[in-house]
Structure 1
Amino acid sequence: MPHHLTRADRVDEQQIRALPKAEVHVHLEGTFALIDLLTLARENGVALPGPAATLFDIATHDEFEAPEVSTGGGSGAGSAGLSGFLRFLDWQCGLVRTADQAARVAYAFAARQSSSGVRYSDVIVNPTHWNRWVGRELALMDALAGGFDAASQDGLCEVNIAYSLLRSQSRAHAEDVVRDLVARAPRRVVALSVDGDEKATGRTGEKFRDAFALAASAGLRRTVHAGESSGPEGVWDALDLLQAERIDHGVRAIEDPALIERLIADGVSLGVCPRSNVTLGIYPDWASHPLPRLVEAGVAVTLNTDDPAPLGSSLESDWAVTAATFGFDLPQMAVFAAQSIEASFADDDIKSRLRHELAAHGAVAPA
């Protein structure tokens, strides 16, 4: 892997946008643009938590407090940096109060993905943040699906949903959620996820084992946040207890050679988000991030944004910084694009089309 690129080798954002790719670790809650928040706040008569021009600057502050008390949100307390961020997500999702507003948010997400060259996304949605939809979670899924349907009809990025549990939810609640998903099969919900602050809640794999087993038996795919604010043990639990097919983050796996071997042997990919890890304090800077060591070890890695709007980024920007920091050239970035397609929960037809589209770009031969 090259670490010293010539000027001709350097990868710019335009080249990255041109690569057909998927994004598999991105939260819908973290993609509201500033104009979305201003419009929704105005429509609902809700005060902003600070000046509009610096709204996202406060999103990663641990002391963030919403100006309006949410009802039913579930982020709770967390580790420094992350807890304020989760409260910000609760506040902004609380601005979405009608089906039309939810559909608009979904459509805008697909449009933004398309502008980054993303052809397919598994977007994570955790209904506990959407506090105006308590008891109507599947109605929220239906409203979001309507927005994604409209985007697809307009030729924008194809989007499916990974319905996410929150780590602090109870075992019984998680199982009720999955039974409801299985019974009602909401459109575009293709996977079960779990997210939230690992460090604050401790190990939760055993608690959610039965919920994920039910999801697996019903044909739902499984992706699990692990190996972020806690160590590699969360990744082991995701594999052994939750039948995870994909790990969101997983970067702390680098601390355990046996876990690296397990990931490679099982073909489990890591949905890595370098900017998020640095901004939220998992690593002190980009140069300290273990991404190149994971790649060199042979782990399948995808590059993702996590929560791009409050983190002030885009997929092409994060890919460009990754390339510049670690010396990845365009062929290596095309490998990340190919791995994103394979790691996605897209159906076989979409994957085949994207493989051929990437091959036509001159980067990777179709499988």
Structure 2
Amino acid sequence: MNSPVNVKQRTSLCALPKAEVHVHLEGTFEPAKLEQWAADAGVAMPRPRERLLEFKGLADFLHFLDWACGLANTADHVFEMAYAFCQRLAADGTGYADVIVNPTHWSAWQGRTKAMIDALDAGFTAAEQDGLPPASLCISLLRNQTADEAAELVDQLVEWRHPRVVALSIDGNEAAAGRTGPRFADAFRRAGAAGLRRTVHAGESSGPEGVRDAIELLGADRIDHGVRAIEDERVVALLAERGIPLGICPTSNLTVKVYPSMDTHPIERLRSAGVRVSVNTDDPGLLATDLPSEYELARSTFGWTDAIVRDVARTSIEASFANDDIRSQLKSQLSLWSSD
């Protein structure tokens, strides 16, 4: 049971005006919902419910995502996930989110990406109409796709110009796929030219070279993870010089064994070196975390003051792809925040 001090800390961090810029819709499934959908579809669970969210590593985690997304096979299911995502934002005190969706995980929607985006949009719109926080979509490539597949997705996004879609993303297992920056450079260039923002997973299962490729080859406006940039001071300097923010997810990094403990996590070293960092959940349903908990983990480990917490929250807002009105409103609210 939380002590009164912890309750007070959590309350203040829930009240902290903030955005979330690194969170996957695929990572917001709840075990009870998955068990229900699996039973309805007659699909076997990969593990008993009590161990459903125990993962052996990143590869096992990604396989699980494919299984879970395969259960979301109707527009109603997708609508429900979008609405529930905004409920999660409200519970965390989050004012806006860029949510990543990778169509390759959603087997029931192959060849129907536009229909899936429309179903998500309907869920987000209903949530906003009910007073819940807004969210935008970052549509993601999988790292082992081909250059032609990347080009096809970009062509579709440019043709559709869906107002809910704000960015092209790329995610997946860097270690397994190897260096992929050159393969996707043209797709990301064309996405940027068409007005889409660009966010890139890098520096998690790859080292700092992945972060450099994200900057120099993919034109990243924001980097998801990016923590292993710390292994090369030149990449750290490049991030600081160009002001490219990192969407860092501490619990996720610990869960997939990028770092053995929070004490060894580089978020504070990166921040102290002038890199713009934000705190995020990555896959909150599957990792049993939420955004206030992630802030508290960093604050308690590194002794972050209110001023530092406010600065990290400000980075999250400025790094988001929200419109100017949302960002201005959140920053105005943030200026009034105190943990007292």
Place the TM-score, normalised by the shorter chain, in its bin.
over 0.9
SS at match of 1:94: helix
State the TM-score, normalizing by the size of structure 2.
0.95
In the alignment, is the contact (CA less than 8 A) between 2:204 and 2:226 conserved in 1?
yes
Give the counterpart of 2:254 among 270, 278, 283.
278
| Counterpart residue number, 2:337 | 361
Query: Offset at 1:43?
Result: 3.1
| Counterpart residue number, 2:324 | 348
Q: Where is the helix percentage greater, Structure 1 or Structure 2?
A: 2
2:115 aligned with 1:115, yes or no? Answer: no
Deviates most, 311-320 or 214-223:
311-320
Q: Distance in 1 between matches of 2:294 and 2:118?
A: 31
2:50 aligned with 1:53, yes or no? Answer: yes
| Counterpart residue number, 1:105 | 81
Query: Offset at 1:329?
Result: 2.4
Using a 3 Å threshold, how does the CA distance of structure 1 residues 295 and 351 change in structure 2: closer, same or farther? same
Query: Offset at 1:91?
Result: 0.4
Q: Distance in 1 between matches of 2:203 and 2:280?
A: 15
2:25 aligned with 1:25, yes or no? Answer: no
State the TM-score, normalizing by the size of structure 1.
0.88
2:289 aligned with 1:320, yes or no? Answer: no
Deviates most, 45-54 or 99-108:
45-54
Post-superposition, which runs of at least 4 consecutive aligned residues in structure 1 deviate over 6 A? Answer: 7-11
Query: Offset at 1:41?
Result: 2.0
Give the counterpart of 1:124 among 76, 100, 104.
100
Query: Offset at 1:9?
Result: 11
Instruction: Give 1:83-232 correspondences, 5 Å limit.
Output: 83-232=59-208
In the alignment, is the contact (CA less than 8 A) between 1:9 and 1:330 conserved in 2?
no
- AA matched with 2:11: Q
Give the counterpart of 1:12 among 3, 9, 13.
9
| Counterpart residue number, 1:254 | 230
- AA matched with 2:254: V
| Counterpart residue number, 1:38 | 35
SS at match of 1:118: coil
Residues 5-32 of structure 1 deviation map (CA, whole Å, 9 limit, x = unaligned): xx98997211110101100001110011
Q: Distance in 2 between matches of 1:42 and 1:104?
A: 18
Q: Distance in 2 between matches of 1:265 and 1:51?
A: 48
In the alignment, is the contact (CA less than 8 A) between 1:10 and 1:324 conserved in 2?
no
Q: Distance in 2 between matches of 1:45 and 1:330?
A: 50
Gaps of 5+ in 1: 1-6, 62-80
Query: Offset at 1:331?
Result: 2.6
Residues 29-71 of structure 1 deviation map (CA, whole Å, 9 limit, x = unaligned): 00111232123223323232222233212xx12xxxxxxxxxx
Equivalent pairs counted in the alignment come to: 336
- AA matched with 1:12: Q
Query: Offset at 1:300?
Result: 0.4
Indicate the RMSD between aligned Cα atoms, in angstroms.
1.7
In the alignment, is the contact (CA less than 8 A) between 1:249 and 1:270 conserved in 2?
yes
In the alignment, is the contact (CA less than 8 A) between 2:143 and 2:170 conserved in 1?
yes
Using a 3 Å threshold, how does the CA distance of structure 1 residues 25 and 11 change in structure 2: closer, same or farther? farther
Gaps of 5+ in 2: none
SS at match of 1:248: strand
Using a 3 Å threshold, how does the CA distance of structure 1 residues 289 and 150 change in structure 2: closer, same or farther? same
- AA matched with 1:205: G
In the alignment, is the contact (CA less than 8 A) between 2:12 and 2:338 conserved in 1?
no
Q: Distance in 2 between matches of 1:345 and 1:166?
A: 21
Query: Offset at 1:136?
Result: 0.6
Query: Offset at 1:264?
Result: 1.4
- AA matched with 1:55: L
Query: Offset at 1:359?
Result: 1.7
In the alignment, is the contact (CA less than 8 A) between 1:10 and 1:329 conserved in 2?
no
In the alignment, is the contact (CA less than 8 A) between 1:222 and 1:243 conserved in 2?
yes
Q: Distance in 2 between matches of 1:177 and 1:108?
A: 27
